[in-house]
Amino acid sequence: MKIRDEMTFQQLVEAVTQVHHEMASQAGRAVNLALTARNWLIGMHIAEFELQGSDRADYGERIYTALAESLTQRGVSNCNRRQLYRYTRFYQAYPWIVGALPAQFTRLISTSTTDGQIVGAAPPQLHLSPKKLLESLSYTHIEMLVDLDDDLKRAFYEIECVRGGWSTRELKRQIATLYFERSALSRDKAKLAELAQAAAEKAEPRLTIRDPYVFEFLGLKPQEVLRESDLEEALLDRLQAFLLELGHGFCFEARQKRILIGDTYGFVDLVFYHRILKCHVLIELKADAFSHEHLGQLNTYVSWYRANMMSQGDNPPVGLLLCTAKDQVLVEYALAGLDSRLFVSNYQLTLPSPEELTSFLKQQRQEVEG
């Protein structure tokens, strides 16, 4: 291929940038298609087993629990009991998706029926075509749609989501603000739709691999995908080393620890277990000024750890919120409802003081920013 003689350096930069974004977008779509197909196929096999499995009577209502345990032992990701239910619901809500699955998946597809309906039948009127649905929406989008019990409402959000290129966060917001119900009551539906789309957050194809389902499907660690700002990453690197070097009993457990709270994933920046305090210490670092939203997020994580991760003999977990801004460093300790004065006193003596952390963060930020 001959490169144009008249190409300028700026045109070269633009051409390479365009190639990069286009290929990244295609890769993201391919991964999401594979993940969506995988979850639909899992739901299909479960539904078919429930209908006509030769030994289904041996498991009864235990089928999801037993299957989750077996799949986990084999290292199959994101197949806990709750998710298996959701995959089955996905299959039952969208049986016609089979018509858009790539040819290489043919051997994985059952040819039987569900409730008398032939798998792969055309979608009901109003719904998007299977091809459009799979090409335009991530599995997280689809899971939100499956959670809607009303089929008309589901079709409405399918169309609006694809038409507006909504992010998953935007779809969640529109559902929560009752866009469907408001549209049904509105006298000027076109005007309402225009206003809703104008204010909507658009999905960025290059960020599709940040979907929690995607990186678990690919076997990636959260920190390999959920990159924060370069500043926060550099400060977290140094903070992790700093706390371990203190020698006060910090034992490192996780970085960007993923936890599932209801239907929402959270990511704790740093998790330590403290041998002296006998508790988990959760640390959140924000490269901006302190806000109550930051504290609320950390307290949510601390509460989840208290309910789900405490072992016999453990003290309640504590949270440490570090907020850095160019003109100030605010350090907030979240005591998470600790009611033992002795423990709180020990906590205050054993963990780094606010003054130590303030000094450390100021120095490290100056070094990082040069």
Mean local confidence (pLDDT), 321-341: 62
23-27, 67-71, 86-90, 302-306: range with lowest mean pLDDT: 23-27
> 269: domain CATH number?
3.40.1350.10
**pLDDT tens column, 231-276:** 666 677 777 777 777 667 888 888 888 888 877 778 888 888 888 8
Domain of 73 in residue numbering reads as 9-213
pLDDT reported for residue 230:
56
Give the CA angle between residues 257, 263, 269 to the nearest 5°. Answer: 20
- At 334 the three-state DSSP class reads strand
Whether 356 is covered by a domain: the verdict is: yes
Residues 16 and 121 in one domain: yes
The count of domains in the chain is 2
98 inside domain:
yes
CB 366 within 8 A of CB 235: no
In a domain, 282, yes or no: yes
31 and 170: one domain?
yes
Residue pLDDT, tens place only, 81-118: 888 999 999 999 998 887 777 776 666 775 544 443 44
- In this structure, the answer to whether residues 181 and 297 fall within a common structural domain is no
Calpha distance 187→191 (Å, rounded)? 9
The pTM assigned to this predicted structure is 0.57
**Predicted local confidence at residue 228, as pLDDT:** 46
The stretch 36-50 carries a mean pLDDT of 88
| Whether residues 60 and 93 fall in one domain | yes
Q: Is residue 4 part of a domain?
A: no
Shared-domain flag, residues 230 and 158 = no
Same domain, 159 and 294: no
Are residue 115 and residue 28 in the same domain, yes or no?
Answer: yes
Domain endpoint, select from 213, 233, 262:
213
Task: Indicate if 209 and 228 belong to the same structural domain.
Answer: no
The torsion region of residue 25 among left (phi > 0), alpha (psi -120 to 50) and beta comes to alpha
101 with 137, same domain: the answer is yes
- Tell me which residue of 231, 225, 234, 323 sits closest to 283, measured CA to CA: 323
Same domain, 82 and 201: yes
Of 159, 187, 213, which one is at a domain's C-terminal end? 213
Among 276, 267, 158, which Cα is nearest to 212's?
267
C-alpha of 152 from chain center: 27
pLDDT at residue 89 in the model: 92
171 and 194 belong to one structural domain: yes
- Choosing from 193, 213, 233, the residue where a domain stops is 213
Q: Identify whether 219 is part of a domain.
A: no
Q: Are residues 180 and 64 in the same domain?
A: yes
In a domain, 2, yes or no: no
Between 10-19, 45-54, 115-124, 244-253, the lowest mean confidence (pLDDT) is in 115-124
